[in-house]
Amino acid sequence: MASARGARAWRCLLTGLLVMTAQANTTAGSAQETRVRVQDGQSLRDIAKAELGDPDLWTEILRANELRSPADVRPGMELVIPAGAIAAADRALDQALAAIQRATAEGARLFAPDEIEQGIASYDAGVAKRKAGDWAGAAAAAGEARQAASAAMQLVAAGRDSPAEARLTDREGRVEGRTPQELVWSDRADDAVLIEEEKVRTLSRSSAQITFRDDSRLRLNANSQAVIRRMRTDPLSRTEEASVSLAEGDFYALLSGQGPRKRFELQVPEVETDVQSRSFWVRHDGSGSKFTNYDDGVLRVAANGREVALGRNEATLVRAGQRPSDKVGIRAATVLLAPPDNGQTVTADVGLRWAPVEDAAGYWLELAHDPGFQRMQLSRWGLKDTDFATGELAVGTYYWRVAALDRFGLPGERGATWRFHVRVDQAPPFLSVTEPPEHVALTRSPVPVRGQTEPGARLLVDGLSVAVAGDGSFATEVALTPGNGQVRLQATDPAGNVTERLRAYRFVPDEADVLRFDAGLPQLSPRHFVTRQDAVSLTGSTLPGARLLLRAAGLPLREAAYADKDGRFTLNVPVAAGTAEYGIEVVQRSGRTSRDGITVSLDRDPPLIGLDLPPPAITAVEWLPLRGQAEGATTLSLNGQPVQLIDDTFDQTVTLVPGINRLRLEATDLVGNVRVADFEVRLDQQAPELVGYRVSPPRARPGQPLRVEVQAKDASGLRQLAPARLRVAGVEYDQFLELGAVPGTYAATVLLPPDAAGSAELREVEIEDYAGNKARFSLGR
């Protein structure tokens, strides 16, 4: 922006100086005159053509010499020629015309129509004054025309460098944004307009697609944050410019094309990029940055004085504070297996399968509603298995693809995209409501709602999800509002078919039903309180001055309390092991008594943390997916950072650093019980080192065994066996060396054929550590 404003200011200053120069030249020119002597046979038109370049200007020579007619001109007469004033006027008009033409070519008729029309009008006036011989007036009008053209150019510069906009064209899960004017993050809906300097982030199991005006797209994966630094458009030349900064996480870019009319700038911390590619992937986290290019166009990556140019299916790693690595080959494309391409399924929970890719550390699955993956159904990163259950899908057509991930988390080649069709039953689910009856008059709230629906259906009661038992039965409670109302029930089967039922009622509250508890109290359900203390203080409101009596079944009075003048009360309820039910009598000042009941449970059991797969003690893969359940937890954190819980489940990917990584999961339930799970994972991406080797004797004799020893070392420990290759007298033999009692020493006694004799040497040995890192050493001559 600063450079654009500076350019416009310099253009304005330069134009002003030119106008002032032209005016000064006009003033000086009026004083410039030349004198000529009339020759024999020379007419006044001849003199005007020779001196002024136009024979029709002979009248100006008469006027300058105060002559009445050409007959007054005699041979030998000296005439004054007004060449300076005429030339200055012509020069000013030429400069004005050039300025108007430049402004028009830059788009003045679109961005500054009034200013350019004013300039043209002044120029036409100057031309008229020139024809009339008013040279000074012509020069002045030309100056006004140039000033108008200059003003038009300033408006053109501002109009052609106008901010563009992008849109959030697709979202899965929770997507949030924050403009420069906003202090907090807020939810972003589908098709939300995104402006310059706006931040966009995705949470767990979420993704977002940002689409620019030229149809270029960025797909942010889960737990990512990007900043739209700059979006500019020039309506006249139809050029587009966009700049995006990746703060953390990863995205996949699919650009509409690069060239003189379109430019995309990628900003990554500590890395410089030059984007000519139309299809690439980038990730940034605490370990550094990673880039994969899927296009023939080059993606250049530079850091700390080194640059790498990535071609199609090439990748590089930029560790924090280091130079880019050499080009890394990515994993091969994944072959999809089931369901078959263009196949149909009669179940909404579809099982996807694909063939394993050699040396793949995981997989990245994308499922969308369109072949361009612009409307995403789900995106799952770091899948360990080669199959995946989609969960319930609505009727329709879906497209899916899978990319293999290496140990660095670099996605492999883009394989084929397959599609399948979900065609399930079209019959709406059964839904019967047994309670409350239709058009009932009610005096108590909440009211129980019970009934039956299709097993497996999703049930909403007044918009809230209600659990459906295995036999299809359900039961819940609904809080009522006084007057006429209705309860709305909606059942949706796995195919997306919907059935609705309404139960109309009239609610006239009983005056005795006056006991209300504060909503902030920990409750498992309405009037079922939970605590981990020996007593719980229940607060709420009732009639002012009322007395509250707490009783347990068959036991004397346990507690009494009074409501204050505002009706506020605090009732202390003792808590024993397990669950207890209490009755509460509310005695009003008038002596009228109403009865209510509560349930109190003691919960000192912390939430349960269960992982789908336990973290490995040692790994060479620097990304670690943590998936599992935190049963009963209301909040979950990983190393102090919040982790999103969805129906007690979590899905978080951790980027490991070399060495020991200490991971702490901390789950907290409704009453503050805490469960902590600690793990340690060592990241080892360094291959074993060869310390030394020996073959004895160095020359084999017929029938004599050979002893082969290899010394190696590695931080995470060595595998038990190491394949090796020997050469004896030009013949090679494969052998396995075994790790012995001496740490880091492999050895084997090799029995050769009886006729084998000659020079013996170790040609090759491959050593692998427990993290899966391999090193192959070529030895010998």
Helix H or strand E segment including 638: strand 633-638
Cα separation, 210 vs 254, whole angstroms: 11
pLDDT at 510 (0 to 100)? 58
User: Cβ–Cβ contacts within 10 Å for residue 535, how many?
Assistant: 12
Question: What pLDDT, in 10s, does the model give residues 136-164?
Answer: 888 898 889 889 888 887 876 665 555 56
Global pTM value: 0.58
More reliable by pLDDT, 245 or 94:
245
The answer to which of 305-314, 423-432, 641-650 has the lowest mean pLDDT is: 423-432
Q: Which amino acid is at 604?
A: R
Cα separation, 440 vs 51, whole angstroms: 111
Mean pLDDT of 430-440: 86
pLDDT at 734 (0 to 100)? 92
Cα separation, 242 vs 244, whole angstroms: 7
| pLDDT-based confidence at residue 57 (cuts at 50, 70, 90) | confident
Question: What pLDDT, in 10s, does the model give residues 336-360?
Answer: 999 999 988 867 789 999 999 998 9
Its CATH class, for the domain covering 608-683, is mainly beta
First to last CA, the chain: 64
Structure-block tokens of residue 294: 């899927």
Does the pLDDT value for residue 679 go beyond 90? yes
Angle at 425 between CA 419 and CA 427, to 5 degrees: 145
DSSP 347: S
Q: Which residues pair with 548 in a beta bridge?
A: 561, 586
| pLDDT-based confidence at residue 765 (cuts at 50, 70, 90) | very high
Its CATH class, for the domain covering 689-778, is mainly beta
Mean pLDDT of 471-486: 85
Residue 731 half-sphere exposure toward CB, CA atoms < 13 A: 9
**Max CA separation in the chain (angstroms):** 147
| pLDDT-based confidence at residue 512 (cuts at 50, 70, 90) | very low
pLDDT at 554 (0 to 100)? 65
Q: How buried is 477 (Cβ within 10 angstroms: 0-12 exposed, 13-18 middle, 19+ buried)? A: middle
Q: Which DSSP string do the residues of 51-113 spell out, in sequence order? A: HHS-GGGHHHHHHHTT-SSGGG--TT-EEEE-HHHHHHHHHHHHHHHHHHHHHHHHTHHHH-H
pLDDT at 26 (0 to 100)? 37
Structure-block tokens of residue 414: 């883009």
Work out the mean pLDDT of the chain and round it to a whole number: 85
**Ramachandran bin of 527, using left for φ above 0, alpha for ψ from -120 to 50, beta for the remaining angles:** left
The answer to which of 173-187, 370-384, 521-535, 585-599 has the lowest mean pLDDT is: 585-599
* Domain boundaries of the chain, sorted by first residue: 2-160, 163-329, 336-422, 431-506, 516-602, 608-683, 689-778
Q: Which amino acid is at 772?
A: G
pLDDT at 31 (0 to 100)? 42
pLDDT at 551 (0 to 100)? 84
Cα separation, 25 vs 489, whole angstroms: 88
pLDDT at 158 (0 to 100)? 65
The answer to which of 50-54, 496-500, 680-684 has the lowest mean pLDDT is: 50-54
| Same fold: 163-329 with 336-422 | no
pLDDT at 159 (0 to 100)? 58
Whether the bond into 697 is cis, omega within 30 of 0: yes
pLDDT at 282 (0 to 100)? 96
Cα separation, 583 vs 574, whole angstroms: 13
Q: Which amino acid is at 5?
A: R
Print burial letters for 595-612: b (CB count within 10 Å at least 16), e (below 16): ebebbbbbbeebbbbeee
pLDDT at 111 (0 to 100)? 64
Three-state DSSP class for residue 108:
helix
Helix H or strand E segment including 694: strand 689-696
Cα separation, 177 vs 171, whole angstroms: 12
Mean pLDDT of 179-200: 90
Beta-strand runs (E) in 393-430: 396-405, 418-422
pLDDT at 18 (0 to 100)? 36
Do the bridges between strand 483-492 and strand 464-466 make them parallel or antiparallel, or are there none, so unpaired? unpaired
Whole-Å CA distances, 497 to 347, 376, 428, 493, 502: 13, 22, 5, 5, 17
CATH code 2.60.40.10 for 336-422 = yes
Do the bridges between strand 593-602 and strand 528-531 make them parallel or antiparallel, or are there none, so unpaired? parallel
Question: What pLDDT, in 10s, does the model give residues 689-702?
Answer: 999 999 999 999 88
The CATH number of the structural domain formed by 163-329 is: 2.60.120.1440
The CATH number of the structural domain formed by 516-602 is: 2.60.40.10
Q: Would you state the CATH architecture of domain 431-506?
A: Sandwich (2.60)
pLDDT at 50 (0 to 100)? 77
The closest alpha carbon to 199, from 183, 215, 213, 214, belongs to: 183
More reliable by pLDDT, 728 or 509:
728
More reliable by pLDDT, 282 or 16:
282
Q: Which residues pair with 636 in a beta bridge?
A: 643, 667
Mean pLDDT of 535-542: 91
pLDDT at 776 (0 to 100)? 92
